[in-house]
């Protein structure tokens, strides 16, 4: 088996809330190998964003640890780039090219000339070549998300972290963006952790799906979804199975007790 690129090892995440500690996830463990498209799937509030933030180095585990290439993650770094749901993650006063280039230069990963070249290549990959000089307010929601993806990809991170990046898009744009992401993956085989609460999206995007139970998030099941087309019978069966395991908790608990 290939060595793990990222290991999430017994990770408990807590927040200090007004009424005491909130446990977002409890002892979650999984690992990712290079080139995987791992999806974290679960209902709202189960700790998906918290897990992604912890992998990003923005939230320290209360228990357990996260390792990237065997080294403990303790802070954010250009080896882990994040794409969020919100359309306002771009700098409004910079053009498309400026936004992508800025991240590269700020990280010290490239000189100005190299950054410009890499930015243009990434912008072309997400089909925005004609909009390199446009400003965020001139773009649709889907286009802004493509810029955010280009910005992340241009950094050539070890892992791209995507937190419901298409959730705010209309259904048709969302499906198109899922296809584009897969196309991009075919071209470059990056490693991605993709968070969603949509079963359809999980099946469409993921090569492996981790199901998280609601609050506090625990790992419930793991599904290999590599090569499954959600539009075909296979995909429908998988979708039903995931639905059952995600929503069977309440019934199972009441039978046990």
Number of residues that bind ligand ADP (CB under 6 A): 13
- DSSP SS3 for 197: coil
Return the ∠ at Cα 88 (arms to 82 and 94), rounded to 5°. Answer: 95
Q: Which is nearer to ligand ADP, 42 or 61 (CB)?
A: 42
Residue 17 binds which entry of ligand ADP, Mg ion, none, CB below 5-8 Å type-dependent: ligand ADP
Q: Which is nearer to ligand ADP, 22 or 176 (CB)?
A: 22
Residue 206 binds which entry of Mg ion, ligand ADP, none, CB below 5-8 Å type-dependent: none
Q: Which among 198, 202, 199 is positioned nearest to 226, based on CA atoms?
A: 202
Instruction: State the minimum distance, in angstroms, from the CB of residue 127 to ligand ADP.
Output: 29
Q: Is 49 in the site for Mg ion (CB under 5 A)?
A: yes
Measured CA to CA, the distance from residue 230 to residue 136 in angstroms comes to 33
Q: Which stretch binds Mg ion (CB under 5 A): 47-55, 116-124, 135-143, 204-212?
A: 47-55
Q: Which is nearer to Mg ion, 8 or 115 (CB)?
A: 8
Instruction: State the minimum distance, in angstroms, from the CB of residue 154 to ligand ADP.
Output: 26
Instruction: Draw the binding track, 214-233, toward ligand ADP (x: CB under 6 A; -: no contact).
Output: -x------------------
Instruction: State the minimum distance, in angstroms, from the CB of residue 196 to ligand ADP.
Output: 10
Q: If you write DSSP's letter for every residue of 63-123 in order, what string do you get? A: EEEEEETTEE--S--TTEEEE-S-GGGS-TTS-HHHHHHHHHHHTTSS-HHHHHHHHHHHH
Question: Residues near 233 by Cβ (< 8 Å), separated by ≥ 6?
Answer: none
Q: Is 24 in the site for ligand ADP (CB under 6 A)?
A: yes
Give, to the nearest 10 degrees, the angle between helix 112-125 and helix 171-188: 120
Q: N- to C-terminal Cα distance for the chain?
A: 40
Q: Which is nearer to Mg ion, 83 or 154 (CB)?
A: 83
Q: Is 178 in the site for ligand ADP (CB under 6 A)?
A: no
Return the ∠ at Cα 221 (arms to 56 and 237), rounded to 5°. Answer: 115
Give, to the nearest 10 degrees, the angle between helix 96-106 and helix 141-154: 30
Instruction: State the minimum distance, in angstroms, from the CB of residue 49 to Mg ion.
Output: 3
Q: Which is nearer to Mg ion, 14 or 125 (CB)?
A: 14
Kindly tell me which residue out of 46, 66, 96, 199 binds ligand ADP, with binding defined by CB under 6 A: 46
Instruction: State the minimum distance, in angstroms, from the CB of residue 132 to Mg ion.
Output: 31
Instruction: Draw the binding track, 190-219, toward ligand ADP (x: CB under 6 A; -: no contact).
Output: -------------------------x----
Measured CA to CA, the distance from residue 161 to residue 144 in angstroms comes to 17
Give, to the nearest 10 degrees, the angle between helix 112-125 and helix 96-106: 130
Residues engaged in binding ligand ADP (CB under 6 A): 15, 17, 22, 24, 42, 44-50, 215
């Amino acid at each position: 088996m290939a060595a793990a690129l990222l290991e999430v090892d017994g990770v408990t995440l807590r927040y200090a809330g007004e009424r005491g500690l909130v446990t977002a996830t409890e002892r979650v463990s999984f690992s990712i190998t290079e080139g995987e498209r791992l999806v974290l799937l679960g209902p709202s509030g189960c700790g998906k964003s918290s897990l992604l933030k912890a992998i990003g180095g923005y939230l320290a585990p209360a228990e357990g640890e996260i390792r990237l290439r065997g080294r403990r993650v303790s802070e954010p770094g250009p080896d882990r780039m994040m794409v969020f749901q919100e359309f306002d993650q771009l700098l409004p006063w910079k053009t498309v090219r400026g936004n992508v280039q800025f991240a590269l230069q700020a990280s010290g990963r490239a000189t100005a000339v190299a950054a410009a070249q890499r930015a243009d290549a990434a912008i072309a990959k997400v089909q925005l070549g004609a909009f390199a000089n446009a400003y965020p307010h001139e773009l649709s929601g889907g286009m802004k998300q493509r810029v955010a993806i280009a910005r992340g990809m241009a950094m050539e991170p070890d892992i791209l972290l995507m937190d419901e990046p298409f959730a705010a898009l209309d259904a048709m744009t969302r499906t198109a963006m899922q296809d584009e992401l897969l196309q991009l993956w075919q071209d470059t085989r990056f490693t991605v952790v993709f968070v969603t609460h949509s079963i359809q999206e999980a099946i469409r995007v993921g090569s492996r799906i981790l199901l998280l139970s609601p609050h506090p998030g625990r790992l419930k099941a793991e599904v290999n979804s590599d090569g499954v087309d959600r539009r075909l019978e296979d995909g429908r069966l998988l979708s039903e199975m995931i639905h059952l395991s995600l929503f069977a908790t309440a019934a199972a608990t009441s039978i046990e007790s």
